[in-house]
A and B are shown apart, each in its own frame.
Chain A
C-alpha cells in the first residue's frame, strides 16, 4: 500500500475519533453545569479545555455557551468538531478509491450536516441536538467501515488511528480528573457523585461501569475501569490491545524486522497496562503514570511514521 494512502486513512480515522470525543465531553459538561454555582462552572470549563489539550486560540471567557459553540462550530480553530470532520473528509477524499462508497457517502453526509447546520448557540437544547448528530454520524461511519471495508492493511491503519487517538485522549482526560479530585478531594464541593458520573459519561462508561462495580462510585475503581479494563472499548487498556492487534497485522504485511522499535514500544505499553495494579499506580503517582501513557502514544505515533510513512530514503535503501 502506498504510504500516502496509509497516512490519509490514519488521519481520517483519528480526526473522526477526536470529533466524537470532543462532542461527548462538551455534551456531558453542558449538562452537568446546570446544577452548579458560578465558581465551579469556571473551574469546570477550564478543566474541559485542559482535558482537550488546551487547544490553541481557544480561551475561557466566562460564557460556557460561547465556549461550547466555539469548540463545536468554529472552523477557524483546528480543534473544533466541525474542523475535525472537515479534515477527516478531506483525508477520505484523497483516498476516495481506497474506501467503500458507503463510507464515503456516510462521511460526506455527516460533513454536509455539520457544515450546513444553523444553530442558535444560546440554546443549549439545540447544541445538544447537534452533538447528537455528531455522535450518530461517527458511530454510523465506524459501523459502515467495519462492515463494508475489507479488513486488510488499510482498515488496520484506520483501527490504529482510532485507538491511538482514543488511548491518548482518555489518558489526558483521566489525568485532569485525577489531578483535580484524587489529589484534592476538597475541590469536589460535595458534588462528588456528579463529577465522577461526568467522567464516566465522558467515556460512555457509566452503564458499563455499573455492570461491573454497581452504582457504587469509587474513584479508584473508576480509574481501574477506565484505565485497565480489557473488555470496555473506551478504556485505555482495551484501546492499547486493539492498537497492538492492528500493529501486528500491519507488521505482518511489511515484515517485523523494520518495525523492531515499534514492536518494543507498543509491547511495553501493553504489558505495563496488562500487569498493572490500580492501587500501586495510585501509590506511585497516578499522574506520572498517565503522562507516561500519553508520551508513549506519541512515541508510537512517531515511530509508525518513521517505519511506514515518512521513512528516509537512505534508510529504506539500506534496509
Chain B
C-alpha cells in the first residue's frame, strides 16, 4: 500500500483516460495508487496547465531540431527534416531496480565475452555439449576467419545494447541482445540534454543520476582495447556514410569523443597497418569503433561487392595492429536461437544463476517444441533468428490464418531459422497527449561498455509504442522514445 496522500488514478482530470489492464503499469500499482518514485513527477505534471505543457513541448521540439536530432525525409521535400517522436514524461527506474539490472547485464556481457572467446578458440563449451555445435556453426554470423584469434583483453563485445522488457509481475527480463552494432545511444544522450533544459527543477526534485559521461566512458573503453605498444592510440569511428540512417549518431558520437569520423575510403592499409588519409599525410589508426556490419568491412575477406569497407583491414586486424570494436563475429552470440542458451552459458562460465531471466523460447530444431509451436501459432510470436527491427516476425494474436499457414510452412522448411516465444504483455508507462496522460507499452535498452572494466551509464533508451494498444516499439512503426531516469531512493 502506498502512504496516504498519493494521487489515486481516479483523482485528476488529466488521468480520465488512464485505464489499467493486466500489463504492469510503471506509474500506478494495481490498486491505482501512485508508485512512490512517481509521486513528485506526477504532482508536478498535474500542476502544469495545457498551455504550459504545449509550450514546453514546443521548446523541446525546437531543441531537438536545433541540435539536429532529426531524420531526413527524402523525395520532393528532400532536405526538410523531421524530429524523432518523443514523449515529455520521463520513465523512472528506482535505484534498487537499477542495481538489479546492472548486476544482470554485467553478468551477461561477461559471460557472452567468455563464450565468444571460447568458441573461436578451444571450444570447450561445445565439446562438453552445453551448447550444441550445430547452433554455432550454422549461424550465418559465425566467422570462421576468427578461429584462433586473440583480441585485446579477450574483449569481443565492447559495446552491447540489450533490450529489456517488464513482465506482468514487474520483473525485468531480457528480450534480446544486440552485439553487433547497437544504435540509439545518441537519442538517450540528446533527449537528456533537452529534458534538462525544459524541466531543470524536476532533476533536483527527483535526484536523477547523470548519464553525460557516456561518451568519455566509450572513449576510455576503446582506448583500453588498443593494441599493445600503442600508448597514445588514434581512435576513429567508421561509418558507412551519409546515406546510413544512423549517420546522425555516428557524427554525434565522433564529435562528442573528439575523434575522426571516417568512411572506408578514408582508410588504407599497408604492410598490415591501417592508416587514414589526412591533409597532413597518413596517420596510423589503432582502434576502429566500427558502425559497419562484418560483411562489409573488408572486400578481400568478406563481401567483395562492398565499397564501404577497407581492403586489407582484416589482415591488419588478424596481425593485431588494429583493434575493431566490436570484434568480428560477435553476431553469433545474438542469434535468436542461441539466445535460448544464454542462461546455460552464464551458468557454465560463471557458475552463477542468471540475474536477469530470458523470455521463454521455443527452438524449432527441437521436434517437440516445434510441434507445440505450429499447433499454437495464434498465441505465439515467431521470429526469424537473423533478423532485427521487427522484420520476419509473426505476432500470433494479431495474425491472419493465411499468415499462420505461411509461417508454419516456413518453419517446417527451415527450422533453424525460426524461434517462437509467448506473446508478452510488457509494461506500460504514462505518456502525454496534450494534457491527458495515457499508458503505452515501453521497453528499455541500456548500453553496456566492456573494456578494462564494465561500465553501464544509469539509464538507457526507453522506446514507446505510441499507438494505442500497440506492442511494437520500432520507430518505423509509430514508435517514439522518452528519457529514462534512474532515481535515487
Name the residue of chain B whose CB is nearest to the CB of A1. Answer: B279
> Is A2 in contact with B68, judged by CB distance below 8 angstroms?
no
Name the residue of chain A whose CB is nearest to the CB of B282. Answer: A316
> Is B280 in contact with A255, judged by CB distance below 8 angstroms?
yes
Contacts of A112 in B (CB 8 A): 78-79
Complex CA gap A101/B260 in Å reads 19
Q: Which of A1, A94, A97, A111 has the most CB of B within 10 A?
A: A97
> Total number of A-B contacts with CB less than 8 angstroms?
56
Complex CA gap A101/B270 in Å reads 37
Number of interface residues of A (CB under 8 A): 26
Q: Shortest distance in angstroms between A79's beta carbon and chain B's nearest beta carbon? A: 24
Contacts of A250 in B (CB 8 A): 279
Across the interface, A4 reaches (CB within 8 A) one of B251, B263, B270, B282, namely: B263
> Is A6 in contact with B279, judged by CB distance below 8 angstroms?
yes
Q: Shortest distance in angstroms between A95's beta carbon and chain B's nearest beta carbon? A: 9
Complex CA gap A58/B275 in Å reads 43
Query: Does A283 count as interface, using CB distance less than 8 angstroms?
Result: no
Query: Does A124 count as interface, using CB distance less than 8 angstroms?
Result: no
Q: Mark A252-296, 1 if CB is under 8 A from B, else 0.
A: 011100100000000000000000000000000000000000000
Complex CA gap A293/B79 in Å reads 39
Complex CA gap A111/B80 in Å reads 13
> Is B279 in contact with A96, judged by CB distance below 8 angstroms?
no
> Is A253 in contact with B279, judged by CB distance below 8 angstroms?
yes
> Is A153 in contact with B279, judged by CB distance below 8 angstroms?
yes
Q: Shortest distance in angstroms between A106's beta carbon and chain B's nearest beta carbon? A: 11
> Is A2 in contact with B79, judged by CB distance below 8 angstroms?
no
Across the interface, A94 reaches (CB within 8 A) one of B242, B280, B282, namely: B242
> Is B266 in contact with A311, judged by CB distance below 8 angstroms?
no
Q: A4-B266, A96-B242, A97-B255 are in contact. Are A313 and B282 (CB under 8 A)?
A: yes
Query: Does A155 count as interface, using CB distance less than 8 angstroms?
Result: no
Name the residue of chain B whose CB is nearest to the CB of A112. Answer: B79
> Is A319 in contact with B279, judged by CB distance below 8 angstroms?
no
Query: Does B476 count as interface, using CB distance less than 8 angstroms?
Result: no
> Is B281 in contact with A319, judged by CB distance below 8 angstroms?
yes
Q: Mark B217-254, 1 if CB is under 8 A from A, else 0.
A: 00000000000000000000000011000000001000
Contacts of A34 in B (CB 8 A): none
Query: Does A108 count as interface, using CB distance less than 8 angstroms?
Result: yes
Across the interface, B266 reaches (CB within 8 A) one of A2, A97, A308, A317, namely: A2
Q: Shortest distance in angstroms between A9's beta carbon and chain B's nearest beta carbon? A: 11
> Is B281 in contact with A311, judged by CB distance below 8 angstroms?
yes
Contacts of A97 in B (CB 8 A): 251, 255, 261
Q: Shortest distance in angstroms between B215's beta carbon and chain A's nearest beta carbon? A: 16
Complex CA gap A122/B487 in Å reads 70
Query: Does A44 count as interface, using CB distance less than 8 angstroms?
Result: no
Query: Does B196 count as interface, using CB distance less than 8 angstroms?
Result: no
Across the interface, B79 reaches (CB within 8 A) one of A1, A108, A153, A254, namely: A108
Across the interface, A317 reaches (CB within 8 A) one of B79, B263, B270, B278, namely: B270
Query: Does B124 count as interface, using CB distance less than 8 angstroms?
Result: no
> Is A254 in contact with B261, judged by CB distance below 8 angstroms?
no
Query: Does B410 count as interface, using CB distance less than 8 angstroms?
Result: no
Complex CA gap A93/B275 in Å reads 24
Query: Does A3 count as interface, using CB distance less than 8 angstroms?
Result: yes
Contacts of A309 in B (CB 8 A): 277, 279
Q: Mark B261-290, 1 if CB is under 8 A from A, else 0.
A: 111011010100001111111100000000
Q: Shortest distance in angstroms between B232's beta carbon and chain A's nearest beta carbon? A: 19
Complex CA gap A311/B278 in Å reads 10
Across the interface, B277 reaches (CB within 8 A) one of A2, A253, A319, namely: A2
Tell me the A302-316 residues at the B interface (CB within 8 Å). Answer: 308-309, 311, 313, 316
> Is B281 in contact with A313, judged by CB distance below 8 angstroms?
no
Across the interface, B279 reaches (CB within 8 A) one of A308, A313, A317, namely: A308
Tell me the B423-480 residues at the A interface (CB within 8 Å). Answer: none
Tell me the A115-154 residues at the B interface (CB within 8 Å). Answer: 153
> Is B282 in contact with A2, judged by CB distance below 8 angstroms?
no
Q: Shortest distance in angstroms between A182's beta carbon and chain B's nearest beta carbon? A: 41
Name the residue of chain A whose CB is nearest to the CB of B76. Answer: A116
Known: A3-B279, A153-B279. 10 other contacts (CB 8 A): A1-B279, A1-B280, A2-B260, A2-B262, A4-B265, A6-B279, A93-B242, A108-B79, A250-B279, A253-B279
A-B residue pairs in contact (CB < 8 Å), sample of 10: A1-B278, A2-B266, A4-B266, A4-B277, A96-B242, A97-B261, A311-B277, A313-B282, A316-B275, A317-B282
Would you list the 5 A-B pairs with minimal beta carbon distance, nearest first? A3-B277, A108-B79, A308-B279, A316-B282, A254-B280
Q: Which residues of B contact A (CB under 8 A)?
A: 68, 78-79, 241-242, 251, 255, 260-263, 265-266, 268, 270, 275-282
